[in-house]
Structures are given as structure tokens and as C-alpha cells.
């Protein structure tokens, strides 16, 4: 019990802090302030529907000469979000792995799942701790905004706590009963507790998403921000579902990447071959899940962005056509690096089996295609030009590279990048096998035909509909492009399954036979994910610009300006370094305790 005290303390503090604030900032208190305190009018008609949004002045914000309030809230929010993603993501991963272990009757999966839920216990404490800090600084520096939000979302705050308590109860049961419920019906019951843990965790995220998305696309309020009484309308605003989906998928990918980083850390510090083999296998499985979840993520992001455009053209253009487009270029570079790292890990994995050598000559061609796609993917439309370059080009666009800066080129590039990453995976899967069915050459020819036609179709859709028809089709053509990619992947996997049914072994996988440099590729994937979450999270929040709640509550604080891209990138990067240092600390702490599975 004693070892869980810090965690319990964090959880209880978190609950107490937010409960205290939710009572302090109850709607009645808000209404009583009157117009003098916050510039809020409490006219009778408005009070009936709910208080109208406060019109703030700079005096409504506590000033500080020691810290910049926005940076403090920004970093506190980001830290809490990263840890929250960690503790929401890893249990999803753990339950999936536990289920695979049950289905395959392979105890290695169970051991990996247990090891990970144990690691995330420390992360839970830090999540609650950062949550307390975040809540305190938010209520302290932005009291009127929080009062307004609570006047609308108060019922959901209590819902949040209910899910929070349920999640913690499920987590403790899930962890403590692992060894007791190890077989038979007990194991199924244990898996159900894990699913309950994830449902509660996901519900918490959905509730918090409602608050965040309301600030971007407010609903359930009139033009003056007066709440109309329907909480569900405020929750179910335009961006709520797109963000729920985007964050849910991202959490699965993030969970896989964190587990992958842990496996890489333990692989590099392994003292025995057996340990090395275990963590190599763990790293591979985790990466497979991370990259598998990454595949649909751009499309969920596309939906979210399309909804942002649909809600407000102004926010949409600011997001991708204005200054924030530069952060999308950084995003493109990081995502490209992530794909390269994933491919590199698979290429190195070919050395696990003797049969892998058959496929190493193809690596350079795959790398070429990934690199070409990557170049298209991150080439900006509006260029950073020196005066002499601008003079030579006669403008901000390049005559030859300009078309690569548009969305159809990006969509085409990312789909081709996905397909070639899939090809790396396919070769890796074949590394230790030799097909024995007589029609194998025809099957492989069919796969080649599917793969080639898919690429031709993607390029045609991107070029023709992207540049030679109306712009309405330009956006719409991305859907058949994605469908083509998914079809090619599924069709090739299906053919692959039948070709290699009953296949002969070319040489068994020797887990642990991986070069150490491959493990740094896993670290790169994890750091890339974390960095991306910080950068794009900032962009999503910052496109509101000088609004706390878009078009309803104006930000009148001295910080109501868009910081430079360099400054924003620095804040996020510092946050990433601090977070990753804490993650490594958690790994180290976990390593010191030793793996106690089955002991």
C-alpha cells in the first residue's frame, strides 16, 4: 500500500483542486460579479439563458513579473497532455497485447503486457501531479475564462470525476489482480477489467475534448456567448467527434511508440542474450502496432482539418495557408523522419533471419521512393527566400517546385510513402519463409500488378484532379487516393496469406540479432511522436489567435498575440526534452525494480 501512496496523493489532490475550483467558480459566483468586475453584463434576459460571455480587459488577468502566464499554462498543459496520452495510450496497447496472448496462448505477450502496466503506474502518478499543476495555474491566470467555461460545463466536470475514479479503481484492480487472475475464466475477467479501464480512460478524454473543442467551435451558446441550457449541444460541437477519433487513434500509435522506446532502452541495457531477445521481440511488436495505427492517422487528421475549414474559413486559412503553414512543414519533416525510421527498423530486421538477405538489394529502391515522396511531402509552397532569390524567381513561389507545395502533391506523396513502407514490411514478413505453393510466381505477379496499378491510380488522381480540374475535386480526390492505398494493402496481404500458407522456413527469426543502431530508430519514432503532438497541439490551439473561445470570449491579456514560429517551436522543444527525460527516468526506475513477472 505504501508504495502507492504518492499516486493516491496525486489523484486525491487532483480531485480536490478541481472540485474546489468548480465550486468557487460556480455560475452563481460568476453572475454575482456584475459588469464592473469582468465587463460582464448580467441583463435579465441573458441570465435566464445563462450569463453572456465576459468582455475582458487586461486588468482581469493577474499580472506576474516573474513568469509569463501563457508560457506557464502552455507548458503545464502540454506536460499533463503528454502524460495523459501516455497513461491512456499504454493501457490500450496492454489490453490488445493481453488479448493476443490469450488467443495465441503465448505467455510472452502476457509478460510484456504486465511489464508495461507496471511501468505506467509511475506515469499515472505524474499525470495526476501535472494535472494538479495545470488546474492551479489555469484557474489562477485565467479566472474569468474558467468561470465562463464552468458555467457551461459544470455537469461534465462531475462526469469527469466519476470516470476518473472508475479509471483509477479499474487500474488498481487490473494491476493487482494480474497474477491472481491468470488462467481460465479469471483471465477473461481480468481482460474485461482492462477493457473497463480503457473505456473509462477514453471517456475522460472525450469529456476533456468537449471543453477544448468548445473553445474552437463554440456551440450551444448565442452570438453573445450566453449559454442556451443544452450541455449536450455544447459538448457535441463541430470539432468534438473529429478530435475524439484523431486522439483515439493517435493514442494507440503513441502507446506503441512508448512501449517501443522502453523495449529499445532495455535492449540496449540487456546483459544476457535471452533478455535481448525478449526486448527485441517487444520492440518489434510495439512498433508494428505503432506504425499500424499511424497509417489511418493522417486521414483522421484530414477530417479534423476539413471540419475546422467548414466551421470557419478564417481559422482554416490561418491553419494551413497562413503563418501556421510553416509548422505544417516542420510536421511534414518529422512525419517523414518517422517513416524513414520505421523503414530503417524493418530493413535492419531483415538480418534476424538468414533468408532476409534475399531482400536487402531492394532496400535502396524503396529508400529512393520514400525519399522522393518525402521531398514532395515537405516542399513548401511559399518559400523562405533571400532577397536575391526572390528577385531571380520574381515572387515567393518557385516556377518548378510551386506545384509540389499544394495539397494534391502532398496527398499523393504520403500515400506512396505509406505503400512503400508497407512493401518494407512485406519483405520483412517474407524474410524467413519460402513459398511452396505451385502458383506462387503468379500470386507475386498479381501483387506486383496491384501495387503498381495502385501507385499509377494515386498519381493520376493527384495530378489530374489536383491540377487540371476544379478545386472542389482537388480536395475530394484525396478520398479515392486513400481508398486505393487501403485496398492495395489489404489485397496484397490477402494474396500474401495464401502464397505463404504452409511455407517452408528459410531460417528462423533470431530475436536479439539486431544491430544496436536500429534501436535508436525506435527512440527517434517516440521522440518524433512526442514532438509532433506538442507542435500540432500548439497549432490547433493557436489558430483561435486572440480568442479564448473563438468569436465569443476575446483574449485581452498581454499575451494575446501569436508568438513567432521560432519561439513556439522552442517552447515545445524544451517541453519535449523535459518530458522525454521524465520518461527515461520512469524507464530507469522500472529497470531498477526488475521484471517481477511470475516471481
221 vs 325, beta carbon nearer another protein: 325
Query: Cβ of 28: how many Cβ atoms within 10 Å?
Result: 9
Q: Cα separations (Å) of 5 from 125, 200, 207?
A: 9, 22, 27
37 vs 371, beta carbon nearer another protein: 371
To another protein, the closest distance from the beta carbon of 322 in angstroms equals 4
Print the SS3 string covering 141-173: HCHHHHHHHHHHHHHHHHHHHHHHHHHHHHHHH
To another protein, the closest distance from the beta carbon of 213 in angstroms equals 19
- Strand 433-434 vs strand 504-505: parallel, antiparallel, or unpaired? antiparallel
- Strands (E) across 198-330 are located at none
Residues lying near another protein in the complex (CB under 8 A) are found at 312-318, 321-323, 325-326, 333, 336-337, 340, 343-344, 347-348, 350-351, 360, 363-364, 367, 370-371, 374-375, 378-403, 405-406, 467, 470-472, 475-476, 515, 517, 545-546, 562, 565
250 vs 350, beta carbon nearer another protein: 350
31 vs 363, beta carbon nearer another protein: 363
Q: Can you tell me the distance from the alpha carbon of 226 to that of 60, in angstroms, rounded to the nearest whole number?
A: 20
- Does residue 365 contact residue 331 with C-beta atoms inside 8 Å? no
Q: Can you tell me the distance from the alpha carbon of 497 to that of 369, in angstroms, rounded to the nearest whole number?
A: 25
123 vs 572, beta carbon nearer another protein: 572
Q: Can you tell me the distance from the alpha carbon of 78 to that of 116, in angstroms, rounded to the nearest whole number?
A: 23
To another protein, the closest distance from the beta carbon of 211 in angstroms equals 24
159 vs 536, beta carbon nearer another protein: 536
| Burial 142-156, CB ≥16 within 10 A → b, else e | bbbbbbbbbbbbbeb
- Does residue 482 contact residue 474 with C-beta atoms inside 8 Å? no
- Determine phi and psi for 433, rounding to 5 degrees: -130, 150
- Does residue 80 contact residue 133 with C-beta atoms inside 8 Å? yes
379 vs 519, beta carbon nearer another protein: 379
Print the SS3 string covering 196-218: HHHHHHHHHHHHHHHHHHHHHCC
To another protein, the closest distance from the beta carbon of 421 in angstroms equals 13
Query: Cβ of 58: how many Cβ atoms within 10 Å?
Result: 11
To another protein, the closest distance from the beta carbon of 488 in angstroms equals 23
To another protein, the closest distance from the beta carbon of 292 in angstroms equals 21
To another protein, the closest distance from the beta carbon of 121 in angstroms equals 36
To another protein, the closest distance from the beta carbon of 479 in angstroms equals 12
To another protein, the closest distance from the beta carbon of 387 in angstroms equals 6
Residue 176 CB contacts under 8 Å (≥ 6 apart), including other chains: none
- Determine phi and psi for 394, rounding to 5 degrees: 75, 25
399 vs 502, beta carbon nearer another protein: 399
The closest of 224, 156, 198, 411 to 301, measured between CA atoms, is: 411
Q: Can you tell me the distance from the alpha carbon of 186 to that of 196, in angstroms, rounded to the nearest whole number?
A: 15
Q: Can you tell me the distance from the alpha carbon of 167 to that of 165, in angstroms, rounded to the nearest whole number?
A: 5
The closest of 287, 121, 266, 272 to 588, measured between CA atoms, is: 266
86 vs 299, beta carbon nearer another protein: 299
102 vs 393, beta carbon nearer another protein: 393
Between 313-320 and 297-311, two packed helices, what is the crossing angle to 10 degrees?
A: 130
To another protein, the closest distance from the beta carbon of 348 in angstroms equals 6
Amino acid at each position: 500500500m505504501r508504495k502507492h501512496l504518492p499516486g493516491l496523493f496525486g489523484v486525491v489532490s487532483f480531485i480536490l483542486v478541481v472540485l474546489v475550483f468548480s465550486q468557487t467558480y460556480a455560475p452563481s459566483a460568476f453572475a454575482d460579479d456584475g459588469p464592473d468586475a469582468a465587463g460582464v453584463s448580467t441583463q435579465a434576459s441573458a441570465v435566464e439563458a445563462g450569463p453572456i460571455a465576459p468582455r475582458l480587459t487586461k486588468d482581469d488577468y493577474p499580472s506576474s513579473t516573474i513568469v509569463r502566464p501563457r508560457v506557464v499554462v502552455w507548458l503545464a498543459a502540454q506536460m499533463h497532455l503528454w502524460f495523459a496520452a501516455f497513461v491512456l495510450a499504454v493501457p490500450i496497447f496492454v489490453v490488445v497485447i493481453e488479448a493476443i496472448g490469450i488467443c495465441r496462448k503465448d505467455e510472452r505477450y502476457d509478460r510484456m503486457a504486465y511489464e508495461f502496466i507496471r511501468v505506467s503506474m509511475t506515469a499515472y502518478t505524474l499525470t495526476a501531479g501535472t494535472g494538479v499543476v495545470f488546474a492551479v495555474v489555469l484557474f489562477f491566470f485565467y479566472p474569468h475564462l474558467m468561470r465562463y467555461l464552468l458555467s457551461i460545463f459544470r455537469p461534465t466536470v462531475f462526469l469527469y470525476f466519476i470516470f476518473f475514479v472508475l479509471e483509477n479503481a479499474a487500474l488498481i484492480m487490473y494491476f493487482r489482480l494480474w497474477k491472481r487472475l491468470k488462467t481460465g475464466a479469471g483471465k477473461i475477467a481480468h481482460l474485461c477489467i482492462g477493457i473497463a479501464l480503457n473505456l473509462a480512460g477514453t471517456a475522460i478524454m472525450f469529456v476533456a475534448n468537449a471543453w477544448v473543442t468548445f473553445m474552437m467551435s463554440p456551440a450551444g451558446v448565442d452570438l453573445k456567448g450566453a449559454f442556451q441550457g443544452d450541455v449536450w449541444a455544447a459538448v457535441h460541437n463541430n470539432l468534438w467527434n473529429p478530435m475524439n477519433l484523431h486522439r483515439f487513434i493517435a493514442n494507440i500509435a503513441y502507446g506503441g511508440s512508448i512501449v517501443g522506446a522502453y523495449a529499445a532502452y532495455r535492449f540496449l541495457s540487456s546483459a544476457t542474450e535471452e533478455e535481448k531477445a525478449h526486448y527485441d521481440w517487444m520492440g518489434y511488436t510495439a512498433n508494428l502496432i505503432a506504425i499500424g495505427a499511424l497509417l489511418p492517422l493522417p486521414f483522421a487528421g484530414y477530417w479534423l482539418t476539413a471540419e475546422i475549414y467548414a466551421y470557419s474559413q478564417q481559422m482554416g486559412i490561418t491553419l494551413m495557408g497562413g503563418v501556421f503553414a510553416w509548422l505544417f512543414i516542420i510536421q511534414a519533416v518529422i512525419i517523414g523522419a518517422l517513416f524513414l525510421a520505421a523503414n530503417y527498423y524493418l530493413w535492419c530486421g531483415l538480418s534476424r533471419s538468414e533468408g532476409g538477405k534475399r531482400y536487402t538489394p531492394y532496400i535502396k529502391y524503396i529508400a529512393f521512393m520514400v525519399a522522393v515522396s518525402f521531398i514532395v511531402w515537405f516542399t513548401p509552397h511559399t518559400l523562405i527566400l533571400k532577397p536575391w532569390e526572390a528577385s531571380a524567381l520574381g515572387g515567393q513561389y518557385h516556377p518548378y517546385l510551386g506545384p509540389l507545395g499544394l495539397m494534391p502533391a502532398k496527398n499523393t506523396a504520403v500515400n506512396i510513402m505509406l505503400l512503400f513502407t508497407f512493401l518494407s514490411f512485406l519483405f520483412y514478413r517474407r524474410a524467413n519463409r519460402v513459398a511452396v505453393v505451385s502458383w506462387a510466381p503468379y500470386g507475386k505477379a498479381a501483387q506486383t500488378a496491384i501495387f503498381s496499378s495502385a501507385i499509377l491510380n494515386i498519381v493520376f488522381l493527384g495530378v489530374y484532379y489536383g491540377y487540371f480540374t476544379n478545386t472542389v475535386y482537388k480536395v475530394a480526390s484525396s478520398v479515392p487516393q486513400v481508398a486505393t492505398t487501403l485496398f492495395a494493402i489489404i489485397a496484397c496481404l490477402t494474396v500474401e496469406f495464401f502464397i505463404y500458407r504452409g511455407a517452408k522456413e528459410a531460417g528462423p527469426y533470431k530475436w536479439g540479432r539486431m544491430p544496436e543502431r536500429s534501436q535508436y530508430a525506435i527512440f527517434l519514432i517516440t521522440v518524433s511522436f512526442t514532438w509532433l503532438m506538442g507542435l500540432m497541439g500548439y497549432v490547433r490551439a493557436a489558430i483561435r489567435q486572440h480568442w479564448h473561445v473563438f468569436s465569443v470570449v476575446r483574449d485581452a491579456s498581454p499575451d494575446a498575440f501569436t508568438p513567432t514560429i521560432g519561439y513556439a517551436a522552442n517552447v515545445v522543444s524544451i517541453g519535449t526534452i523535459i518530458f522525454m527525460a521524465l520518461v527515461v527516468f520512469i524507464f530507469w526506475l522500472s529497470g531498477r525494480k526488475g521484471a517481477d513477472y511470475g516471481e
